[in-house]
A and B are shown apart, each in its own frame.
Chain A
Amino acid sequence: MADPRTSIIPERLSRVRRVVAVSSGKGGVGKSLIATSLALSLAERGCRVGLFDLDFTSPSTHLILGANDVQPTEDKGLIPPKVAGLEYMSLVYYSGNEAAPLRGAETSNALIELLAVTLWNELDYLVIDSPPGIGDALLDLVRLVPQIEFLIVTTPSRLAFETVKKQLRLLQELKIPVVGIVENMKMTQASSVKQQTEALGIRFLTEIPYDPAVEDAIGNPQKLFSTAIGRKVRELSKTM
């Protein structure tokens, strides 16, 4: 007759003021680092923030945060543990160090399950790290989360930005709010991404230079803020 889980999701998120999914049509552009830095920056500014890793098949945010030996508490639902000041949820609590080889319908089902049983506190922001692509995760967020907004990441490469433009047009057609675009891993002064973004009527949020120091900051949230990503995203968080 009916899957009972979906109807409870809006209620589970009703005490969350803004839900921001960091997303990109393209992979490897810096979504996980930017999502984590954004969540940390907002928390640093005194906001109550959750971080939800929706990249079930290749989660990364637990590595960036250096989250070890934490598990949700089971009460009348799952209560996310605090990691670096964030209410933090990820499938790795349950899949551990092994692969979670999931097909599309299965990732949707896992997402519905987690959204239905996770009890977030009152939050100012829930930041979501998305898997790459314009597929299951994006469509599920649009379908299931009433207050969803997207922050889109691209690189200067046309191979990234051409896909991202399609993603932006799709979100505009669906009337889903887009916070803006972040251009990551910049190595030149070229301003074409900025110009084209603004021509689409979308905010160009910031550009982040390529910074080889990022690798060394993985697993150390404080160190992240001494890299270009951390610094730029911290600035950006002030304008949210």
Chain B
Amino acid sequence: MHEWALAEAVIKTSIEIAEKEGLAQVTEVTVKIGNLQQVERPILRFALSQLRPSRFKDAKFRIFTAKTTLKCRVCGNTWVFNKNSLDKETVEAIHFVPEVAHTYIKCPKCGSPDFEIEQGRGIWLETIKGVK
């Protein structure tokens, strides 16, 4: 449900960009969600459709999920995040603040929590298309 808060952020930022680029009507907004955060796509989509202002009335929201790659800063190992190895509470904690992944996930090769979230962390505004 806190997807609403993220949707509000997407709409607010999109409006700012549309204004800056002089778009009278926005036709398409592309949002990327990193698999790590486990954002519920249907809720996000619903929230975006409810929150859209008139300038966005014909806009198509494209939402795609990006896989999460983690890279160990100690041994250099790179791996793909998979929530199936974690319990429900942990997945939920990471859902609210993805950085707590560093509390629960260790490098599968050397055991270090010192890894970088190379890609697929959370929500990201990819592109906005529209007509001037």
Binding site for B on A (CB under 8 A): 1-5, 7-8, 11, 56, 74-78, 91, 93-96, 98-103, 106-107, 109-110, 113-114, 116-117, 119
Contact = CB atoms under 8 A, between A and B. Distances in A.
A7 B6 contact: no
Given A94-B93, A94-B96, A110-B99, A117 B5 contact: yes
A95 B100 contact: yes
11 contacts: A4-B125, A7-B13, A7-B16, A11-B12, A74-B2, A75-B4, A76-B1, A76-B2, A95-B103, A110-B97, A110-B100
A109 B99 contact: yes
A101 B114 contact: yes
Contacts of B93: 93-96
A2 B125 contact: yes
B97 A94 contact: yes
Interface stretch (B55-63, B64-72, B78-86, B116-124): B116-124
Contacts of A94: 93-94, 96-97, 100, 103
Given A2-B124, A76-B5, A116-B6, 12 more contacts: A2-B13, A3-B124, A4-B6, A4-B13, A7-B13, A76-B2, A78-B2, A78-B96, A93-B93, A95-B103, A100-B102, A117-B5
A103 B123 CA distance: 20
Interface string B30-45: 0100000000000000
A5 B96 contact: no
Contacts of A91: 97, 100
Contacts, number: 109
Interface of B: 1-2, 4-6, 8-10, 12-14, 16-17, 31, 47, 93-94, 96-100, 102-104, 113-114, 121-128
A5 B39 CA distance: 14
A74 to B, nearest CB: 5
A114 B16 CA distance: 21
Main secondary structure of the interface of B (DSSP, over half): helix
A58 to B, nearest CB: 13
Contacts of B94: 94
Contacts of B2: 74-78, 117
Contact of A106 (B17, B99, B127): B99
Nearest to B15: A7
Contacts of A5: 6, 9, 122-123
A1 B8 contact: no
Nearest to A118: B5
Given A5-B6, A5-B9, A109-B121, A75 B96 contact: no
A116 B103 contact: no
Nearest to A94: B93
B52 to A, nearest CB: 14
* Residue among A98, A103, A106 with the highest chain B CB neighbour number at 10 A: A106
Contact of B12 (A4, A103, A106, A117): A4
Contacts of B125: 1-4
B9 A116 contact: yes
10 nearest CB pairs, A to B: A76-B4, A77-B5, A8-B9, A94-B93, A110-B99, A4-B13, A117-B5, A4-B9, A4-B10, A7-B13
A175 B31 CA distance: 36
